[in-house]
């Protein structure tokens, strides 16, 4: 077994009797994605625990956590916002360069935001830190979906050519269709729904819903997009929730889970049908996926309606978030895993 095939993870168990994931991993494995996951340093007084899977390899253990493959080198622990800023500086990760399309976005993915993010005194630094932390996660979610779309289109071409699908391909296609509530082999419907979201829009909504990453929901529940749940205990109860209301703000094991669920909601919930129709129209006319154009369809994302849309468009324009719509992920920088 090569070093790139070994799993390297850390899971920490709180001595008080419950387990919390503070693990870090570098993910390469069989996936084309290389990544460095950053997390806050665990608090004193907790024990290191490594779980072993059925194949005898280490894996992440804990509620809602999926195993992560590891490449080589050391995972990077980021104890606070200042350290994260230093890490981005060391990687040469600056938004001005990304907007000029001079460089790609490094594959560094936070599992959670630094808990001291609200204490960063410089407003420009705090804003830049949040955008740079969320941007790779949005790009990765889009990358995964675009890879799926390429596979759907390939399978569609096989079907049109009269070729039989392999059992694996057929099961994957039917499973994805079922997850959207579509009949099997409705490939047009699947391609209509399973598509990327505009980067600038996702960033703006993350900013608006999390207060630039400083909300209680973002810091303690990895809830960047303010998604509701009516399952008791599945999230955090809003402090000013009206009497009789039952909703909570859904909590997630990692920021990645929050981003993927946000994309899933836009792609599947009936409230965002206009969003999907407008996105499909842009594709038909060979136009780029435009953040401002699609932000104008978000009237049902919030009870504020048109006022919410105005706030999102304002965030996109004032922070030049649409300048990040064409951003792309690059190869992992090995500097990120130097010890």
pLDDT at 14 over 60: no
How many structural domains is the chain composed of? Answer: 2
Same domain, 156 and 269: yes
Among 38-47, 124-133, 137-146, 201-210, the minimum mean pLDDT is found in 38-47
Residue 1 lies in a domain: no
Same domain, 303 and 172: yes
Same domain, 171 and 305: yes
Q: What tokens were used for 271? A: 């409230």
Strands 108-110 and 35-38: parallel
Q: Which domain holds residue 121?
A: 6-138
Same domain, 214 and 69: no
- Domain end among 89, 105, 138: 138
Q: Say what the pLDDT of residue 45 is.
A: 31
Residue 207 lies in a domain: yes
Same domain, 207 and 126: no
Q: Say what the pLDDT of residue 243 is.
A: 65
Same domain, 76 and 219: no
Q: DSSP H helical segments within 15-122, as ranges? A: 81-91, 95-99
Q: What end-to-end distance do the CA atoms of the chain give, in Å?
A: 22
Handedness of CA 95, 101, 106, 110 (dihedral sign): positive
Residue 182 lies in a domain: yes
Same domain, 160 and 309: yes
Same domain, 10 and 127: yes
pLDDT at 270 over 50: yes
- Percentage of the chain modeled with pLDDT above 70: 70
Same domain, 228 and 260: yes
């Amino acid at each position: 077994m090569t070093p790139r095939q070994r799993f390297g993870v850390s899971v920490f168990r709180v001595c008080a009797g419950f387990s919390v994931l503070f693990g870090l991993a570098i993910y390469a494995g069989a996936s084309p994605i290389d990544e460095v996951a950053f997390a806050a340093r665990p608090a004193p007084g907790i024990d290191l625990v490594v779980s072993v899977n059925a194949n005898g390899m280490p894996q992440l253990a804990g509620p809602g956590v999926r195993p992560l493959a590891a490449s080589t080198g050391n995972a990077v622990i980021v104890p606070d916002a200042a350290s994260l800023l230093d890490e981005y500086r060391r990687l040469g990760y600056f938004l001005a360069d990304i907007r000029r399309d001079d460089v790609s976005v490094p594959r560094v993915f936070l599992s959670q935001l630094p808990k001291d993010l609200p204490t960063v005194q410089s407003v420009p630094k705090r804003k830049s830190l949040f955008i740079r932390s969320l941007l790779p996660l949005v790009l990765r979610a889009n990358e995964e979906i675009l890879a799926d779309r390429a596979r759907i289109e390939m399978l569609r071409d096989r079907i049109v050519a009269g070729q039989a699908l392999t059992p694996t391909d057929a099961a994957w296609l039917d499973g994805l269709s079922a997850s959207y509530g579509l009949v099997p082999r409705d490939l047009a419907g699947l391609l209509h729904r399973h598509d990327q979201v505009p980067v600038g829009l996702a960033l703006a909504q993350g900013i608006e819903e999390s207060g630039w990453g400083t909300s209680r929901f973002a810091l303690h529940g990895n809830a960047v997009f303010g998604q509701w749940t009516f399952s008791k205990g599945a999230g955090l109860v809003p402090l000013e929730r009206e009497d009789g209301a039952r909703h909570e703000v859904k909590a997630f094991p990692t920021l990645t889970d929050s981003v993927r669920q946000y994309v899933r909601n836009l792609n599947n919930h009936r409230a965002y049908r206009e969003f999907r129709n407008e996105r499909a129209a842009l594709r038909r006319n060979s136009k780029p996926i435009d953040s401002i154009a699609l932000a104008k369809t978000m009237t049902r994302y919030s009870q504020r309606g048109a006022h919410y849309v105005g706030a999102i468009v304002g965030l996109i324009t004032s922070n030049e978030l649409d300048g990040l719509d064409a951003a792309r992920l690059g190869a992992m920088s090995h500097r990120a895993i130097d010890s």
